[in-house]
Amino acid sequence: MQKILITVAFLFVSLIFSVSCEKHASQQGEPVEALSENTEETKSAFVNYLERGDFPALQERGILRLLAPRGPEEDALPRGGLPQGEWRQLAEKFAFSRNLRPQWVYVDNFAALIPALREGRGDVIATNFSRTPNRRSQVAFTRPLQAVNELLITLRDMDKPLQEVAVRRGSAYAETLQEDTGQPYKVTLLDGAVANSTLLAAVAAGEYQATVMDSNLADALLPNYPQLTASDQLESSRDIAWAVRLNATELRRELNEFLTAELVLAGQNSSKPVRGWENILEGGTLRVLTRNHPASYFIWRGELMGFDYDLLKKFARDHKLRLSMVVPDADMDLTDALQAGMGDMIAASLTVTETRRQQGLVFTRPYLQVTEQVIAPSTDISLQGDVPLEQMLSGKMVAVNPQTSYHESLAEMMLLQRERGVAPIQISEQPGATTEYLIDAVAQGIFPYTVADSHLVAIESTYRDDFRVVAELPNTREIAWAVRADQSRLLEQLNNFLNKHDRDLFFNVTYNKYFKEKKHILRHQENRLRNSDALSPYDPIVHKYTDKTDRDWRMVVAQMYQESRFNPRARSFSGAQGLMQVLPRTAGQLGVENLYEPENSIRAGVAYLGWLDQRFPQNISLEQKIYFTLAAYNAGHGHVQDARALAQQLELNPNQWFGHVEQAMLLLSKPEYYRKSRFGYVRGREPVKYVREIRDRYIGYLGVERNGYLQNVE
């Protein structure tokens, strides 16, 4: 029932938010003067309140208050090279992902941000905020979003020694300058909302000798001031992050999970140049768009599985390709994702329809034939008798996802009913809802009927008896893979594969495993990952040690499975022990013994990840540093540095793992390369495979939405 309530909240989020705002503004907390009215999101002025609680308190209110400076800074170019407004969008996306309404609260300047947060007038400082020692003693920071250098900005032709630097009061720059007691210049602290462009104009006009600005902002703004120049003589680098109250440990964890996922998925799900078969072979990876789905793709005890997944894994292996499964956001149609280049093909139990052909999809030969079945609760006896289906469903409500072929079939039935003077069926559109969820909702009486493909019904019927099939829609449907119209070579290769394995031993064994053999289906469904709240038997211990860091616990669990398959007694040929397969010598240096004890192994593994992370330069992006750290955990920091150096020599990007440093790592198993490296030979395929499989498992975890509300499937 919790799953249903959460889903209903998701579907009717606007209504819930408006009720929540009225309720809490008038009844809960101590009202305080509104700092800012967010006219874009509320029709009436927001009345602020004092709230110092953690994430559960925010969930009860239904609102997330986001703190930012008032005035010109509110619309300034964000840090991190992000386009204007993306910080705002990212913060609001986090709020909506947790079923909270974002409410922006503006303060006068940076100096007022921490007091407002600590006093309970806001929940998250979601702006260009540097992590500094002074601030870290007052607030808890999320994982870094970006690393920047603080640059000194002066006139290009300054004709006298530097005597004064002007910066905003409460800024990280002020803290940097006040720490630098060896400099002879005076620090002038400016009050109020002073924009970066205003400061630059003042320096250009000679009002101030100098100011300080982050490197990315300087890159964007200095071209407008040719008389100014930037230098790194301050030798100061800072991490940019968001901040919460010190006691808001759950909120910080939620933010860290969200931000890490956004970093990883931004690289995985970003639009890329569309590729033909030759480009796929050259790149070495087949990117497949899919959905989390009991027939296509799911996680079972940490392993990636599914009928489509198993078929395509063999196809990829036959062509010496790596297989990368891409699960777009639930609100993004797979056809749009394919056209945008997010993947090379679609494999998601996709029904062949004329509408989809008109959208530009070209289908392979079908590999399954199914019927669309009408589902009712097991107790329902209303649809009985030997009458035509359009009369049987006359006036009935049927819930379906509007992106599925079921919706199209029901729409055709409505036309037929109107032609015959029969009361039309009522289609209840449920955007983003999976077939599994809708069957569950029907079984619980939330909706009277839904429609599902027969192969999905077969899976569901093996482990539950609370629904029944009461009718079948006309015509047999075909299930196929899909490509773009310009991918004739890929289409040819896929059809060759399907023709070769048409009902052969491999196909039949794979088909029976997912659709026929009740024992296997029951085992897979019983242990299939249905939500991301419980990934392993050791989740509480992982939380205990990752919550104190910037690391996403789900990434650690994905790595733990890769290392030991969750076996606490695992031991490698090299002597590594326990869940995280740490060498006793390494663990001893970290102050940990007895690695067969799960808590000790996890503590050592997380600590070692943190040590490795610090070994890489700050100019490596935070997303890429995740992969470099994983590679170093597997192969050793020295070998990864050798691979970075070799990548530079080969004119690859030494700061990007996939497609660059991983390629150099593969070469370090060849004498002509490893003999010239500092740390010598390494089995390069091992760390390359290691990083990819952990990344893919982590993305698989992300694809299973929280609280069991899975993404759209068909």
Q: What angle do CA 368, 299, 632 make, to 5 degrees?
A: 130
Query: Is 207 a known active-site residue?
Result: no
The HSE-up count of residue 88 (CA atoms within 13 Å, CB side) is: 17
d(CA 673, CA 7): 55
Long-range contacts of 512-519 (CB under 8 A, 24+ apart): 513/307, 513/310, 514/294, 514/295, 514/306, 514/307, 514/459, 515/295, 515/307, 515/455, 515/458, 515/459, 518/462
Number of Cβ within a 10 Å radius of residue 697: 22
Q: Which of 254, 390, 436, 563 is an active site residue?
A: 563
Q: Listing from the earlier edge strand, what are the strands of the sheet with 210-214?
A: 210-214, 146-155, 228-240
DSSP state of 64: E
Contacts of 48 (CB under 8 A, 6+ apart): 31, 32, 33, 34, 35, 65, 105, 121
Which of 180, 158, 193, 216 shows the shortest CA–CA distance to 70? 193
The HSE-up count of residue 360 (CA atoms within 13 Å, CB side) is: 14
d(CA 346, CA 511): 19
**Is there a contact between 107 and 119 (Cβ–Cβ < 8 Å)?**
no
**Is there a contact between 569 and 598 (Cβ–Cβ < 8 Å)?**
no
d(CA 690, CA 185): 52
d(CA 469, CA 471): 6
d(CA 63, CA 52): 13
Which of 478, 479, 477, 475 shows the shortest CA–CA distance to 389? 475
Phi and psi for 168 in degrees, rounded to 5? -75, 140
DSSP state of 293: B
In the structure encoding, which two tokens stand for residue 247, read together?
């006691």
* Three-state secondary structure call for residue 317: helix
Number of Cβ within a 10 Å radius of residue 685: 12
d(CA 416, CA 436): 28
* Three-state secondary structure call for residue 102: strand
Which of 75, 98, 100 shows the shortest CA–CA distance to 88? 75
Catalytic residues: 563
